[in-house]
Structure 1
C-alpha cells in the first residue's frame, strides 16, 4: 500500500480545558499519513484517482477552525473520522501537535492510527 503525506499543516484553533484557552486561538500542527493505491493515478496522471492532498488540507483546516474541542485527543479522532468518511481512506495516522502547551517543552502531541491496511 502506498502512502500520501500532509506534514506540518498549521491551523489556529480554540482548543484547551482552561477558561483562558476558550477565549483565544492557539496554533496546532497536523501530520497526516494516509494509505492509498497511487498506481492508477500514476499511470493516468489523473488527480481524481488519488488522494487530493490540497482538498484534504482545506477540509481539515476548515473543520479545525470551526471546532472548539477541549482535548487534542478528541480533535484527532474527529479528523480521522472526517478524512476516512469524506475521502474514502481505509487507514491513516494523524499526529496533532500543540506547541507551547507545556512550559519548557518544545511540543506536546498525540498520535493515533485508525483503520486497516
Structure 2
C-alpha cells in the first residue's frame, strides 16, 4: 500500500471539532451523552483552486465541518471506530478528496485509570 503522505502533499485540516453525541457500549453513555473531538485531514489537489481563486475547485471547509459534526451526531453506535468510518465516508463523498485521515477522540471514555486521551485513527482512500 502506498503511503498517502508520499502521494499527496495538499490537504485541508480540521482539528478539534467538538461534538456532543450518545455513542458507547454502556447504557449511561447512550443516555447521558458525552463529548467527542474529531480531527480530519482531507488530501486533495489544491492547485486548481489556488490558480483560479475558485471555491468550486476545492472543498468548502466550513460546509465540511458541519457535515462531519452531523455524521458524528446521528445514530448512536457502540464503537468510535464506527464513528470514524462514518466520518471518513462523509469526507470521501466530496469528489476532489483522494484520501482522508480521521481521528476520533473520546476524552470522557469510561476507563478506570488516569489517561490523557483515548482515540482511534483511520486512513481511507478512494479505490
TM-score of the aligned structures, taking structure 2 as reference length = 0.85
Equivalent in the alignment of 2:57: 49
Q: Matched residues in 1 for 2:13 and 2:120: separation?
A: 17
Runs of 4+ deviating beyond 4 Å: none
Q: Matched residues in 1 for 2:108 and 2:29: separation?
A: 12
Equivalent in the alignment of 1:108: 118
Root mean square deviation of aligned Cα: 1.5
2:13 maps to 1:12: no
Gaps of 5+ in 1: none
CA shift, 1:83, in A, is 1.4
SS at match of 2:77: coil
Name the count of aligned residue pairs: 116
Matched-pair contact (CA < 8 Å) for 2:106–2:118: yes
CA shift, 1:44, in A, is 1.4
